[in-house]
């Protein structure tokens, strides 16, 4: 299936509602399985995730996974819910298939994009010094 994402970029409001956005967050417009959403750009995460409620609402199959996810705090980990099958995701006129970790995401987020997808979407850092 091919989706013309050029027209979709204009269809999604460029600014999320106050309810879903905090000043310390970077949200990017993505399309996951034909659903246009704002995803959290999470440069502190080494994986990407979708919210369990988003999966339920859009009948996205969740495959069970064992183990835990270690969060930023050394003392905080959560049991894994599962992973999705490969889903279609579009960002910045780029399309990939990716299997996401499924989590109960905070702050009304439907998805978070971790560093594992930065290169595939052309996302990077500038101005870094050593």
Computed from CA positions of residues 68, 27, 111, 54, in that sequence, does the dihedral angle turn out positive or negative? positive
Phi-psi map region of 10: left, alpha, beta (phi>0 left; psi -120 to 50 alpha): alpha
Determine the Cα–Cα distance for residues 41 and 123; give it in Å rounded to an integer. Answer: 10
CATH number at residue 61: 2.40.70.10
Residue 127 lies in a domain: no
Residue 38 lies in a domain: yes
pLDDT one-digit tens code per residue, 16-60: 555 555 678 999 999 999 999 999 999 999 999 999 999 999 999
Residue 5 lies in a domain: no
Q: Contact, 3 vs 31, CB < 8 A?
A: yes
Residue 74 lies in a domain: yes
Residue 115 lies in a domain: yes
Structural domain including 109 reads 27-121
pTM of the model: 0.81
Please check the confidence at residue 67 and state whether its pLDDT lies above 80: yes
Residue 20 lies in a domain: no
**Domain total for the chain?**
1
Residue 104 lies in a domain: yes
Residues 6 or more apart whose CB falls under 8 angstroms from that of 92 comprise 121, 122
Residue 18 lies in a domain: no
């Amino acid at each position: 299936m091919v989706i013309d994402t050029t027209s979709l970029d204009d269809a999604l409001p460029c600014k999320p509602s106050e309810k879903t956005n905090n000043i310390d967050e970077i949200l990017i417009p993505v399309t996951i399985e034909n659903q246009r959403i704002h995803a959290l750009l999470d440069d502190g995460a080494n994986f990407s995730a979708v919210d369990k409620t988003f999966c339920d609402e859009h009948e996205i199959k969740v495959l069970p996974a064992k183990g835990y996810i270690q969060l930023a705090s050394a003392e905080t980990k959560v049991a894994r819910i599962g992973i999705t099958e490969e889903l279609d995701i579009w960002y910045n006129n780029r399309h990939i298939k990716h299997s996401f970790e499924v989590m109960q995401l905070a702050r009304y987020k439907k998805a978070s994009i971790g560093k594992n997808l930065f290169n595939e979407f052309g996302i990077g850092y500038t101005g870094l010094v050593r």
